[in-house]
Amino acid sequence: MAIATTNPVTGEVIRTFEELTAEQLDDKLERAAAAARSYRLTSVEQRAQWLNQAADVLEKDADDVSRMITTEMGKTLRAAREEVAKCVHGLRFYAAHGLDFLRDLRNDAGNVGAKESFVTYQPIGVVLAVMPWNLPLWQAMRFAAPALLAGNVGVLKHASNVPQCALYMERLFREAGFPDDVFQTLLISARRVEEVLRDDRVAAATLTGSEPAGRSVGGIAGDVIKKVVLELGGSDPFIVMPSTDLDRATDVAVRARTLNNGQSCINGKRFFVHEDVAEAFLEKFTAKMAALVVGDPMEDATDVGPLATESGRADVEAYVDDAVGKGATVLTGGRRPDRPGWFFPPTVLTGITDEMKMFHEEVFGPVAQVWTVASLQEALEIANGHPYGLGSNLWSEDQAERDLFVRDVQSGMAFINGNTTSYPEIPFGGVKRSGYGRELSDLGMREFMNAKTVWIGQDAA
């Protein structure tokens, strides 16, 4: 795949970039390793100051960066502005709280026969981040902000269709005052990730992407015994029970399925609705999905822009065609519009069976699968049968149902009466084939730190 900015509204290649040569890549890794040796000695307070300065720079650049995101991957300009604002918040959050996250953890020294005993958190060095295009700034930032505050050095291998966003990340931290080479972008193809991960100068990796990519990176990391965090696919359940407010639930259901043009690992993708309210839910949900405006993502009136890549739209079409061919019913959408660009309309399907590919896999586009269920237990049984377990969502005013959902849903995150999303304040990650490890919060920061045990004996008499 070429490293290029291709406008998904028109299919026009706007700008291409040269891949790093072997010599250039080696030089960048050498400089990253050198930076890691000195950067780890800087104070947390100084790193926090640089993070705040990065937030200031990003706020100043917000309009241009938002337009760049929309141009490269097609999300609405409104959504791009929200993404930039989230990145600013993430930078300021870690600047404000990082010192507390990194404080030594004191033990009861007497219980271990010591005068003093504690755990101290130390950076591990150069961390490779392999990031996707769907949230091109936030995905990279939620790695970069905690990693840099912790004293690690980052090298970013971003998706090949968002090179300008990738290069901006490097420029942002440089302009914020961070030392040279503490954060670098590697313009390389996916086939060269293995070379970088196997390099002795790289200590660990984090990947957000597909299950096949996770298998590859996880296997390589295991072979060279390096820490890796994997955030992979999701086909999140969105469960609606009779006690909820259907107007509010359907409003959020529409946003859950179409946010980011339907291209997010935590989009609600499978909707399980109790039979007592299924007809009313479907009527409201389908009408709201059909009313969304599909169009130029730069226009304020647009609700859903194009999919990011031509191949991505082809994949979505194939899932829908397969389901319809095997008996699914299309309530709205289902066919690409007759216009340039990689658009696909908000789509609602019923009659999904396990013979259909979308039953078992993730559909990365604005396609909702709706089931009617007799109970919460039935919804959970179907939901948990899926190989992914990233986020999950319940709409209920019944405390017993909420407790059952939290206890039994097989997911890394459980949201009740609100849309599944990410915040720097709380951990993010999944179970099963959705990956392992956590991003964000204090847990995400400590994924790439050495929790070093310190034991100091009693003074000699």
Give the integer Cα–Cα distance in Å for 372 and 388.
21
Position 323 scores a pLDDT of: 98
Position 1 scores a pLDDT of: 63
Q: What is the DSSP letter of 458?
A: P
Helix (H) / strand (E) element for 80: namely: helix 77-101
Tokens of 417: 């009466």
Instruction: Identify which of 99, 111, 157 has the alpha carbon closest to the alpha carbon of residue 132.
Output: 157
Sign of torsion, CA 181 183 184 189? positive
pLDDT digits (tens, 9 = 90+) for 9-39: 999 999 999 999 999 999 999 999 999 999 9
Position 204 scores a pLDDT of: 98
Q: Go through the chain and tell me how many residues it has.
A: 461
Which candidate in 83, 87, 165, 265 is catalytic? Answer: 265
Exposed, middle or buried, 326 (CB in 10 Å: 0-12/13-18/19+)? middle
Position 461 scores a pLDDT of: 63
Catalytic residue check, 231: yes
3-state helix, strand, coil in the chain (%, to 5): 45, 20, 35
Position 307 scores a pLDDT of: 98
Please, which residues have CB within 8 angstroms of residue 421's CB and are 6 or more apart in sequence? 266, 415
Total-model pTM: 0.96
- Write the DSSP assignment of 83-129 as a string of letters: HHHHHHHHHHHHHHHHHHHTS-EE--GGGGT-SEEEEEEEE-SEEEE
pLDDT digits (tens, 9 = 90+) for 92-134: 999 999 999 999 999 999 999 999 999 999 999 999 999 999 9
Position 180 scores a pLDDT of: 95
Residue 68: alpha-carbon gap to chain centroid:
19
Mean pLDDT of 286-299: 98
| Average pLDDT value for the chain | 97
Give the integer Cα–Cα distance in Å for 135 and 82.
11
Give the integer Cα–Cα distance in Å for 159 and 169.
13
Percentage of the chain lying above the pLDDT 90 cut: 99
Residue 248: alpha-carbon gap to chain centroid:
25
Give the integer Cα–Cα distance in Å for 13 and 210.
25
Percentage of the chain lying above the pLDDT 70 cut: 100
Catalytic residue check, 45: no
Give the integer Cα–Cα distance in Å for 34 and 231.
29
Sign of torsion, CA 206 201 196 187? positive
Instruction: Identify which of 210, 256, 217 has the alpha carbon closest to the alpha carbon of residue 367.
Output: 256
Instruction: Identify which of 233, 261, 230 has the alpha carbon closest to the alpha carbon of residue 79.
Output: 261
- The neighbour count for residue 62, using CB atoms within 10 Å, is 16
Instruction: Identify which of 66, 83, 135 has the alpha carbon closest to the alpha carbon of residue 298.
Output: 66
Which candidate in 72, 83, 170, 231 is catalytic? Answer: 231
Indicate whether 49 pLDDT > 90: yes
pLDDT digits (tens, 9 = 90+) for 136-165: 999 999 999 999 999 999 999 999 999 999
Position 336 scores a pLDDT of: 95
pLDDT digits (tens, 9 = 90+) for 359-376: 999 999 999 999 999 999
State how far the alpha carbon of 256 is from the alpha carbons of 206, 237, 286, 310, 377, in Å: 25, 11, 14, 23, 22
Exposed, middle or buried, 279 (CB in 10 Å: 0-12/13-18/19+)? exposed
Q: Are 170 and 185 in contact (CB under 8 A)?
A: yes
Per-residue confidence band for 2, with pLDDT thresholds at 50, 70 and 90? confident
Q: Are 447 and 129 in contact (CB under 8 A)?
A: no
Per-residue confidence band for 459, with pLDDT thresholds at 50, 70 and 90? confident
Mean pLDDT of 63-81: 98
Mean pLDDT of 220-246: 97
Instruction: Identify which of 131, 149, 163, 312 has the alpha carbon closest to the alpha carbon of residue 231.
Output: 131
pLDDT digits (tens, 9 = 90+) for 53-69: 999 999 999 999 999 99
Pairing between β-strand 105-106 and β-strand 116-123 as defined by DSSP bridges: antiparallel
Tokens of 426: 């709380």
